Amino acid sequence: MRVRLAYGRSGLEIEVPRQRTTVIEPVQAPALADPDTALTAALRAPVAGPSLRELARPGQTVAISVCDITRAQPRREMAGAVLRELDGIVRPEDVTILIATGTHRANTPAELRAMLGDEILGSCRVINHDARDESSLVDIGESGKGVPTRLCRHWLEADLRITTGFVEPHFFAGFSGGPKMVVPGLAGLDTVLTLHDAVRVGDPRSTWGIIDENPLHTDIRAIAARREAKPHFSVDVLLDRQQKITHVFAGELFEMHGRACAAAKPIAMRETSS
């Protein structure tokens, strides 16, 4: 039988033996007819905590975390919605968009243009996080179970910190999005390597769809919960196979992410035999 893998930009078809193959596919949720309206509504009526406009104050510096080019996040739509909510309160020159690369390479100018668009690139500062640049990191001590914690200086020094991401099953962190947009997204190399060590990744609870009692995710949350690092507001979306938005969740980081993960489970975790 022929199976198409989500590989590269156009996919990859492979031949597999039908009698020994199980295909795991997502349950499809309908894409939102008007994602921009849904994003705005979520920012104004979050699942927990104050709205984004209630948190924003004139004169604040703002840091917005977004996924790098290796992830399918609709960055332009999500960052654009956040910037529209901040318009008239915070000056564009006081906003920094941080590309949460983790330990990945920096995104190129062409990639940033494809990710964010010229309007966003021209209105505020955009910085690729660099996990190896010592001058860009601040040591805030140990977190969780012995994790040396160094995070992006621009994130820690911002008056208003906002994460944007998307939630899908992750093979050892449980689910993406939420606190992962702080760490490993904006963390130093030693922090990331500790979180990804053999003990944590090798634990049987570090697996798809599990965030509670997942030792790796527990340490990620411990870092993201620290007063100096925690986002003041967070936004996550769910996507269909065409990378269209199906759900939007916003508000306090952990409540928002918990609801997004709960919504993602029945959508993403069904198995079907070929």
Q: Write down the residue that tokens 């007063």 correspond to.
A: 227
The catalytic position among 129, 154, 170, 247 is 170
Q: How far apart are CA 123 and CA 100, in angstroms?
A: 19
Beta-strand pair 95-100/62-67: parallel
The reply to whether 104 belongs to the active site is: yes
| Range 1-10, long-range pairs (CB < 8 A, 24+ positions) | 1/274, 6/241
3-state SS assignment for residue 177:
coil
CA nearest 209: which of 165, 263, 160?
263
Q: How far apart are CA 209 and CA 169, in angstroms?
A: 5
Task: Find the length of the chain.
Answer: 274
CA nearest 136: which of 153, 118, 161?
153
Q: Strand pairing partners for 249?
A: 236
The reply to whether 170 belongs to the active site is: yes
Active site residues: 104, 170
